[in-house]
Amino acid sequence: MNIPILVGSGVTEDNVFEYLGTNGIVIGSHLKIHGMWHQDLDGVRVNHFMESVRRYRELRKEEPEREIQRTGGKEYPWNRSLDTQGE
């Protein structure tokens, strides 16, 4: 059976690498100003998020056998804390 898997909630800059093997990811409030769903998109958050994805993909190309682990608050080369508008 081949059923597409989509992640619809809870994806952040720190855990996106856990879901990159799915068929799709819906990202909402994490990319908004102050992480609030009713705010506009925060360009800094979007850029940090996509940079984390790019760094992770580069590392996976270099070390495809590398085991993926949950962050548990740890810093990995592909993630970093957000430093955005007024937070």
Kindly give the residue spans of alpha helices, DSSP state H, lying in the chain.
43-62
Handedness of CA 68, 34, 42, 47 (dihedral sign): negative
Q: From CA 23, how far away is CA 77, in angstroms rounded?
A: 24
Residue 76 tokens read as 């990995």
- Please write the tens of the pLDDT for every residue from 25-79: 999 999 999 999 999 999 999 999 998 888 888 887 877 666 655 444 445 554 4
Nearest by Cα to 51 from 84, 28, 78? 78
Domain range list for the chain: 6-62
Q: What is the pTM of this model?
A: 0.67
